[in-house]
Structure 1
């Protein structure tokens, strides 16, 4: 197997065993123990059912593979407890509620969910599902702890790249750097006042005894929370916009904020509970409406900006800094940031299809015609795009592709750290494998030979 293929194969951490199957007749019972965790033969059956339900082709997935994966998960969870990693029952219960709601919505009823998991009743299913979620959370936190401790130096990246034979160096697809200038339709003061007055009216109604939950269901335009009465649970690390968090953490329990503005629109927040560093709140979001006239004016404005750039009166970068309404990109000259790679280059074959279609025919330095678009919240705007640079498909180059090479090198080092950790912890931990499964050709030394 080629060097780089080995690396990508290693990243499939869940593939833990090869294809030796147990030969004797299967009888349900305990097939493995790791620390205090037990694995049943029926757990493997359930894994098959779940994979099939997810559309995974299970023809070539052996019981040994799934058993090996389960042994790994149990070791992570066991060691998480030894390392005092805490997953609270409330955290599990909250997450379980969200997952069950999603399952019921998908299949139609709780009875169908219970039948799918082959459980006696709802209580039996919830008891089982609680344990599964808690173990999964312990597993993921333990994995994260191992990986987070791994760092890599420039010298290690250089050595990693040097060790790849020349004819096995990875090939990266064609890439582009894209910049944009966004002009958003302006909201009138009259419309802003209308929204603020409406939120003040709702706030007063709640203070007079109306239900905040009901008001949120009726009036909030936040698709993520309106059906649930505007409910969110958050702490200071929760990824909400700064303005929202500042207001939320300035309120006392039972207090309702005055209307305030974020990029999403105007809000009011009601704090239901404060539990240490965590708060439970409800909010109502109303976004001011944009008139057709404002949309037309935005188009005229972006056309004028484009004309100045094309005529050489201003550079695209300077125009973005002075005129773009997109805070995330304007100070960087409008250059788009690729969240997948943490850099400014986009691989053409992995770009968002909509963005790809908008830039695919542009030459380097060419300015697109005004494009009518909308963000993930449905807010309409006009934009112009340019391609700052294009790099054709190429074999990895240390100078030009340093960040990608660093990512590969770090992943390689993380995998080695996990492998070393696994070897050490298996030796320290009580592990028992049923004789029916001792014929499996495990990648890890579960049999401690």
Structure 2
């Protein structure tokens, strides 16, 4: 049951329209159909129907999911959200607005137009749609923040990991799939100063147009090359701890509210920043990113560099790791000898079955220490770059081994401890919270004690 619920929990918590769970005060006129109440939150029988439709729309199988399971999950989400409010956890309107805009933009790309989305969800207009989304997203964010607070300080020490592994029966030890360690060297074409000047001058023109009365939001939607913020008009919220590059942070924190920066450079290209608001330690800003384009001759020169370095490695004149440190144009991997980091685990090992298909096609046929031919790729700025790859190590599918797979076993032990902590918290919070579940659902085999028997 838990595994099935995990499959669709994201659809329930991130804020996908379909839940329509509203606060009790907003539901005074509609008593019929109330099947659950958690504090001020009300769950309607129709919420389950709508959730089934949403899961089906996302191609999530629903045949084996019961109404009891869905109600139990909805009740859990409302317990988290309700307690988050009691604990004064804050989710800002600006944060919600940004997510709403991103979701609408994503759905527009998928469905075709904003009006089709409004019609599909039977809303009056875009504002009505945004209002409904905002409430759902806010509840989901509150629930997520509450979970994070519960498990934030949960850790496991090496002895706990050892005891966890020892507690697993030998015939129940997990199998870990085939894995691979990969390294790469990146060769980027050299951008001419003329191309850089063209971008700088264009940003200066846009800046002046905004100072003369144009909308920065509109300019960002039209011109920025940052896909992460284009739909929201270049919007970001950040503080000193937000993982932006140093150059971007330095400029952002040097601005006064309402000020627009001069063009400046980061590894992503050239930016201008408009600082909208300062709220304590947080900045709310918009930016426009433009990237200079490279010439065909610069692309050819980069490819020739890649081929030359590959030949040096194959000839034994230099190791792949040393070549990465000496020649690579990618600073994230340069000093580690080109080793790639798995973003899921923050380790250097990748499960072959979970490897990005594009990367898999380039490295799956390589033997250990074999060097690929140069591959061309398009970077985030839309420019072509070239890469050579090697396989540093390979592991076949195998039964879990404590020393070889320590980090994976540690993650399993930590996950179990976090789950236990959340379960303890849930049991106690249910006892301390007003909860009502309709008698029609008394026969459900809930995992939690919703009827407080």
User: What is the TM-score normalised by the length of structure 1?
Assistant: 0.87
2:443 aligned with 1:447:
no
Q: CA deviation at 1:149?
A: 2.4
Q: Equivalent residue for 1:382?
A: 386
Instruction: Return the alpha-carbon distance in structure 1 between the equivalents of residues 205 and 126 of structure 2.
Output: 42
Residues 350-376 of structure 1, C-alpha deviation per residue, up to 9 Å, x if partnerless? Answer: 111111111122111111122222334
Which of 401, 411, 416 in structure 1 is aligned with 2:415?
411
Alignment of 1:341-352 (within 5 A): 341-352=345-356
**CA distance in 2 between partners of 1:109 and 1:216 (Å):** 20
Which residue number corresponds to residue 308 of structure 1? 312
Residue 67 (structure 1) shift: 1.0
What aligned pairs does 1:203-352 form with structure 2 within 5 A after superposition? 203-207=207-211, 212-213=216-217, 215-216=219-220, 219-226=223-230, 229-352=233-356
Does 2:124 match 1:131? no
User: Shift of the alpha carbon at 1:410?
Assistant: 0.7
Contact 2:369–2:390 (8 Å) recurs in 1 = yes
Name whichever of 127-136 and 410-419 sits farther off. 127-136
8 Å Cα contact 2:368/2:394 also seen in 1: yes
Distance in 2, matches of 1:434 and 1:312, equals 74
Distance 1:218 1:166, change over 3 A: closer
Of residues 417, 420, 426, the one that matches 1:422 is 426
User: What is the Cα deviation at residue 117 of structure 1?
Assistant: 4.2
CA distance in 2, matches of 1:155, 1:377: 47
Please tell me whether the aligned partners of residues 80 and 147 of structure 2 are also in contact (alpha carbons under 8 angstroms).
yes
Return 5+ residue gaps in structure 2 as ranges. 11-30
Q: Equivalents in 2 of 1:101, 1:268: separation in Å?
A: 23
Q: Distance in 2 between matches of 1:221 and 1:9?
A: 39
Residue in 2 aligned with 1:24?
none
State how far apart, in whole Å, the 2-side matches of 1:138 and 1:227 are. 24
Q: Say if 1:161 and 1:405, in contact at 8 Å, map to a contact too.
A: yes
- Give the length in aligned residue pairs: 433
Partner of 2:15: none
The residue aligned with 1:39 is 43
Distance across 1 between alignment mates of 2:230 and 2:434: 49
Which protein, 1 or 2, shows the higher relative CO under an 8 Å CA cutoff with sep ≥ 6?
1
Distance in 1 (alpha carbons) for counterparts of 2:169 and 2:316: 47
**Superposed CA offset, 1:377-414 (max 9, x none):** 43311121111111111111111111111111111111
Partner of residue 140 from structure 1, selected from 130, 139, 144: 144
Matches within 5 A, 1:51-200: 51-103=55-107, 106-107=110-111, 113=117, 116-117=120-121, 128-200=132-204
Take 2:90 and 2:297, find their aligned partners in 1: how far apart are those partners? 55
The answer on whether the counterparts of 1:11 and 1:411 sit within 8 Å (CA) in structure 2 is no
1:342 is paired with a residue of what secondary structure? coil
The structural deviation recorded for 1:201 is 4.0
User: Once superposed, what is the RMSD of the aligned Cα atoms?
Assistant: 2.8
Partner of 1:371: 375
Which contiguous aligned blocks of 4+ residues in structure 1 show a shift greater than 6 angstroms? 6-13, 120-124
CA contact (8 A) 2:293 2:383 kept: no
Which secondary structure state, in structure 2, belongs to the residue aligned with residue 250 of structure 1?
coil
Change (3 A) 1:65 1:361: same
Deviates more, 1:182-191 or 1:223-232: 223-232
Q: Which shifted more, 128-137 or 436-445?
A: 128-137
Change (3 A) 1:384 1:95: closer
- Measured in 1, the distance between the counterparts of 2:65 and 2:351 equals 32
Stretch moving more, 218-227 or 367-376: 218-227
Q: In 2 relative to 1, CA 323–103 (structure 1 residues): closer, same or farther, beyond 3 Å?
A: closer
Matched, 1:355 2:359: yes
CA distance in 1, matches of 2:382, 2:56: 35
Kindly indicate whether the alpha-carbon contact (under 8 Å) linking 1:11 and 1:415 is maintained by their aligned counterparts in 2: no
Q: Compute the displacement of 1:258 (Å).
A: 2.0
For structure 1, the 5+ residue unaligned runs are 1-5, 16-26
Contact preservation (8 Å) 1:7, 1:412: no
Tell me the secondary structure at the aligned position of residue 185 of structure 2: strand
Distance 1:404-1:226 versus aligned 2 partners, 3 A rule:
closer
Distance 1:118 1:68, change over 3 A: farther
Q: Which is higher, the Rg of structure 1 or of structure 2?
A: 1
1:334 is displaced (CA, Å) by 0.5
Q: Distance in 2 between matches of 1:192 and 1:266?
A: 8
* 1:103-132 deviation line (CA, Å, top 9, x unaligned): 455445666545544567777665544432
Q: CA contact under 8 A between 1:182 and 1:325: conserved in structure 2?
A: yes
